[in-house]
Amino acid sequence: MRISIIGAGYVGLTTAIGFASKGHRVIIIDTDNDKVNLIRRGKSPVWEEGLEVKLLDFVSNQGNLEATSDYQKILDTEMSLICVGTPSNSDGSINLSNIEDSVKKIGKVLSKKTDYHVVVMRSTIIPGTTKHLIIPLLEEHSGKKVGEAIGIAVNPEFMQEGKALQTFLKPDRVIIGEYDQRAGNMVLEISQDFGAPIVRTDVTTAEMVKYASNAFLATKISFINEMGNICQRLGIDVYTVARGISYDYRIGERFLNAGVGFGGSCLPKDVRALIASSKKHGYQPQLLESVLAINEAQAKKIVEIAERKLGSLLNKKITVLGLAFKPNTDDIRNAPAIPVVNMLVEKGALITVHDPKAISNARQVLPENVSFGNRVPEAINGSDCVLILTEWDEYRDEGLYQGKTVIDGRRALDPQKARELCDYHGICW
Ligand SMILES: NC(=O)c1ccc[n+]([C@@H]2O[C@H](COP(=O)([O-])OP(=O)(O)OC[C@H]3O[C@@H](n4cnc5c(N)ncnc54)[C@H](O)[C@@H]3O)[C@@H](O)[C@H]2O)c1
């Protein structure tokens, strides 16, 4: 199929490479010319293992992936997948300005198209958005009836950063929310060889499936952090408890890693948006509010442990290892490391940070007086305390920390081995 993908971020780029690798012809459209120019040269604007090699191959050798900022190119395709960002407003509600902009532009271009065209929402959008915002906007700007000349479907993305392409190509399930059956059938056509169970439903239910999934994952993490905080007081290792409960097939083993909490571009923003939307509809989602409160408290807890160990943090040298919200990505959006560094700086600590991939993103948001270490041994040399906030493999060597005070926010180290070599503290174990 000929597919246009709107938005060349983590999701759009992965989706483009994923569908190109399935033999589709893909045009990726982004308003950011720098990103478009990078992609044209086969360079990935985001870091993900293996993404750039594939990108270069499709752009330069196979020629089935191109990038542009020109929306007119949609006319060369049968389907447009919207993958633009949906960030938070300051009150936590979803900011739909990128969605509105892209839908208006698509609508204008589709006013000139004679054949049927499908618009598919892959961005995470709050339930009701397609029905109450996207369809009216598309009809207004195209002058056509949605469900007839233009089809619409919601096909939420579930890829995981850190293994984006792998999880894109092997999804656990495919959700197809269809406004018209023809649109649903076309999404089915490009999805069925992923070999995943397929749930076909209406557009609003499909939007909700994405939020319910992320809310559940966030809840699992805050649940195990709460267990960790209780276990720590009782002298019990929460990781052994997690292993013990994980064999219950109703619980499972994933997302039970106690630590400094969840971050990233999805879980915090999506839980906040669901809370804001629930309140707007007259429901106070107490569980979700607690999930966020527990998460925010974990980041503060790591600073409190540092203060307990070092006393006043004024002029104390502290090294923060890991800035990305999880390993194997350069994404620092809502990463716990960012508020932790800010809290430490406010308390007068002298901060050195290290991350194998996220430094250039971090430089744009961290205070100017933070130092950046190139290598781990240099970064921790002379430091009064080391905080581990992302479990990159290169931090997992207990030998690195001989004689140091270490606060592990991710269970990156084996506590027993670490305690033999250094003054080791787990955040909740
Ligand atoms: N990152 C993830 O792991 C992930 C996973 C599943 C779903 N999602 C959802 O997918 C969506 C995209 O997330 P992301 O992480 O790729 O975001 P991102 O910020 O990395 O990328 C968004 C891209 O959209 C472009 N853009 C913005 N407005 C545009 C417009 N009007 N026209 C064309 N391009 C435009 C931006 O320039 C940017 O390149 C969000 O709704 C997010 O919640 C993200």
Residue 49 pLDDT? 87
Listed in sequence order, the DSSP H helices in 41-199 are 51-56, 97-110, 129, 135-142, 164-169, 181-191
Concatenated DSSP letters for 122-150? -S---TTHIIIIIHHHHHHHH-S-BTTTE
Rounded Cα distance, 205 and 257, in Å: 30
Per the CB < 8 A criterion, the answer to whether 8 and 32 are in contact is: yes
> Going residue by residue through the chain (429 aa), what tens digit of pLDDT does each one get?
999 999 999 999 999 999 999 999 999 999 999 999 999 999 999 999 889 999 989 988 889 999 999 999 999 999 999 999 999 999 999 999 999 999 999 999 999 999 999 999 999 999 999 999 999 999 999 999 999 999 999 999 999 999 999 999 999 999 999 999 999 999 999 999 899 999 999 999 999 999 999 999 999 999 999 999 999 999 999 999 999 999 999 999 999 999 999 999 999 999 999 999 999 999 999 999 999 999 999 999 999 999 999 999 999 999 999 999 999 999 999 999 999 999 999 999 999 999 999 999 999 999 999 999 999 999 999 999 999 999 999 999 999 999 999 999 999 999 999 999 999 999 999
How far apart are alpha carbons 364 and 358 in whole angstroms? 11
Q: Are 182 and 200 in contact (CB under 8 A)?
A: no
Cβ of 161 less than 6 Å from ligand 1:
yes
SS3 328: coil
Contact predicate 24/62, CB 8 Å: no
What does the angle CA 91 – CA 95 – CA 100 come to, to the nearest 5 degrees? 155
94 CA to centre of ligand 1 in angstroms: 13
Closest residue CA from atom 19 of ligand 1: 85
Q: Is 362 in the pocket of ligand 1 (CB under 6 A)?
A: no
How many angstroms separate the CA atoms of 138 and 409, rounded?
46
5, 6, 30, best to mutate for ligand 1 pocket (most atoms within 8 Å of CB): 30
Helix axes 135-142, 97-110, angle to 10 degrees: 40
Q: Which of 83, 155, 165 to mutate to test the pocket of ligand 1 (most atoms within 8 A of CB)?
A: 83
**Alpha carbons 73 and 352: distance in angstroms, whole number:** 46
Catalytic residues: 266
Compute, in angstroms, the gap from residue 160 CA to the centroid of ligand 1. 14
C-alpha–C-alpha distance, residues 241 and 255, integer Å: 13
Tell me the one-letter amino acid at 355. D
| Residue 86 Cβ contacting ligand 1 at under 6 Å | yes
Adjacency order of strands within the sheet including 65-68: 65-68, 25-29, 2-6, 79-82, 117-121, 150-154, 174-178, 198-201
